[in-house]
Amino acid sequence: MNKSMSLLAVSIFLVGGLNSVNADPEADRLAMSDFYEKRFPAIELSAHKDGVYALDEAKREQWLEIEDFPPYEIAVDEGEALFSISFANGKSYGSCFENKGIGVKQNFPYFDIEKAEVITLELAINQCRETNGESALGYGSEEMGSLSAYMAFTSRGNTFAIQVPEDGMQAYEKGKQFFYERRGQLDFACSSCHLGLSGNMLRGEVLSASIGHATHWPTYRFKWEAISSLHKRFAGCNGQVGAEGLPQQSESYRNLEYFLTYMSNGMELNGPASRK
């Protein structure tokens, strides 16, 4: 662990600590932002919405060329068509969301006090379907990817302002704990790569900063040859360190998304996106 990482770890745990009743999410976010401002002084915090392309100029130029004819464009169009189809009862996806589902992704995930759980956009889409008598979609399905891609596209330029109510503090802390806990054969945590090694090379790739990780999903990854969710990426990362990946929309992944999205508060959404 390098010196800057040590300072961050100390500041994070002094601010809240894992499972502390005195945890302060905003102090956590400010401590993490301060870490990246010092680690990458030439890069505006807002630029991290572009992930690794904020850190690697050569890769950024290639990525911008790809964005002229983005591979997720078809998914967005298909998602718009699916979103407009009425359910058997005559209602639609728009009936389940604020503003008829347009430009609302910045409100997800949120903690539902009545259900006592974190609600992600993908979970809300399936809850909408089930409430209206339709079967749930597979979280890794093409249809789910397209619907969430369209909803993300309508939310571009909006900024995250995720709230953590008192009842949601435990979910936030569980997400934070997952981020810092080491696991797998390599004994790595999410923070091992995206805090301590951010900006460095690993397996031929530059490691991105953890802030901004929630801004650009769902994403078309050329490795997948498809558009999919942040949770699929979580599972892939778990596998890379020799840990067992969890199902998409598991409680642990929803809590992790909650924590990471709070860390990206104030940042612009720019999904869907394309990544290697």
Give the list of residues 6+ apart from residue 240 with CB closer than 8 angstroms, or none: 186
Task: Output the CA–CA distances (angstroms, integers) from residue 160 to 147, 197, 200, in the order listed.
Answer: 20, 25, 27
Give the list of residues 6+ apart from residue 87 with CB closer than 8 angstroms, or none: 129, 132, 133, 134
Beta-bridge partner residues of 273:
219
Closest CA to 105 of 50, 162, 67: 162
Catalytic residue positions, numbered: 237
Beta-bridge partner residues of 274:
220
Give the list of residues 6+ apart from residue 62 with CB closer than 8 angstroms, or none: none
Q: What does the chain come to in residues?
A: 276
Helix (H, G, I), strand (E, B) or coil at 205: strand
> What count of other Cβ atoms lies within 10 Å of the Cβ of residue 104?
18
Task: Output the CA–CA distances (angstroms, integers) from residue 128 to 94, 124, 221, in the order listed.
Answer: 9, 6, 27
Asked whether 182 and 196 are in contact (CB, 8 A), the reply is: no
